[in-house]
Amino acid sequence: MSVDRGIPVSLTLVLAASMAIVSRAPGQVNIEGQRRSSADSGFAGTLATEFELRTGNVDHFRLALRGRIDYQTSVTSTFVVGQGNLGLVGKNRFSNAGLLHVRSGWRWRPRVVPEAYAQLNYDEPQSLEFRSVVGGGIRVGLSDTEATRLWIGTGYMFEHERLDLSDTAVHPRQTSVHRWSSYVTARVRAGPNATLSATGYVQPKIDAFADVRIISDMSVAVSLTTALSFTVNFSLRYDGRPPDDVASLDTALRNGISLSF
């Protein structure tokens, strides 16, 4: 649901808080899954949350927040994404990360969109103290209807990382890498209240294809009201050359509630 007259101040403050929270947002992130599906001009946004609390044999607390604000005209689109997750076992943090991503596109042709982006994030469980990304490319729509959306994209990405590693680590503490980033994303309306989405990224280092990042996300969203949805998400992250003591493959299955405005 778009709002041409702007976003209520209370919702804006909640969304800003979700972007700033100490949280977990993986170093590899599916931004395509955050895109606005409506072609309406003006402001729009989404706020989603997941919460888990366990007591007894294990004292476990996890809070995840994800938000997006975007502005769209007939020829341009810009959006800002913030997401995160705070997790505690007892008094010890098992996740601590945060992400902020900004992206702008210009509609050169009806289904041909050059775009540029920038990103800042950190991820303690992946030994990532700081990561900055800038890049650009082009995305092409193969189908863009109410029932089915299928887009592909490719472009250049510069990535700088600073890692929290021991003195004996083999992986460098700081890296600056040029990558080729390509993706395919699809969204299918499975009925009046259900939407299926899937996105896949491949991001090899330009001069060493074995150093590759792969992202795959699949989700199902079921509308409860015009603004509220129940979501189930499965994600996969692969790093061909991860830091020392960090696994190459991460998977996650999550469910939660999403609020659109």
At 248 the pLDDT is 93
What is the chain's pLDDT, residue by residue, as a tens digit (261 residues)? 444 444 344 433 333 333 333 333 344 556 665 565 555 678 888 888 777 676 665 576 777 788 889 899 989 999 999 988 777 666 666 667 789 999 999 999 989 999 999 999 988 877 889 999 999 999 999 998 989 999 999 999 999 999 988 888 888 999 999 999 999 999 999 988 999 999 999 999 999 999 999 999 999 999 999 888 999 999 999 999 998 888 899 898 888 887 777
At 122 the pLDDT is 86
CA distance 181 to 184: 11
16: Cβ contacts below 8 Å, ≥ 6 apart? 82
At 32 the pLDDT is 63
At 107 the pLDDT is 92
Q: Which pair of tokens denotes residue 97?
A: 């990360």
Measuring CA to CA, which residue among 178, 195, 198 is closest to residue 186? 198
Q: How many CB atoms within 10 Å of residue 202?
A: 18
At 38 the pLDDT is 56
**CB environment 35-68: b (16+ within 10 A), e (fewer):** bbeeeeeebbbbbbebeeeeeeeeeeebbbbbbb
* Single pTM value for the model: 0.73
Environment class of residue 145 by beta-carbon count within 10 Å: exposed (0-12), middle (13-18) or buried (19+)? Answer: exposed
91: Cβ contacts below 8 Å, ≥ 6 apart? none
Block residue for tokens 């040029």: 178
At 105 the pLDDT is 94
Beta-strand (E) ranges in 107-173? Answer: 112-123, 128-144, 148-163
Q: Which pair of tokens denotes residue 180?
A: 């080729």
Q: Which pair of tokens denotes residue 211?
A: 């150093």
Question: What's 19's DSSP letter?
Answer: H
CB 77, CB 2: distance < 8 Å: no
Q: Which pair of tokens denotes residue 123?
A: 């991820």
CB 50, CB 256: distance < 8 Å: yes
119: Cβ contacts below 8 Å, ≥ 6 apart? 29, 99, 100, 101, 102, 131, 132, 133, 134
CA distance 205 to 212: 6
CA atoms within 13 A on the CB side of 86: 9
At 29 the pLDDT is 57
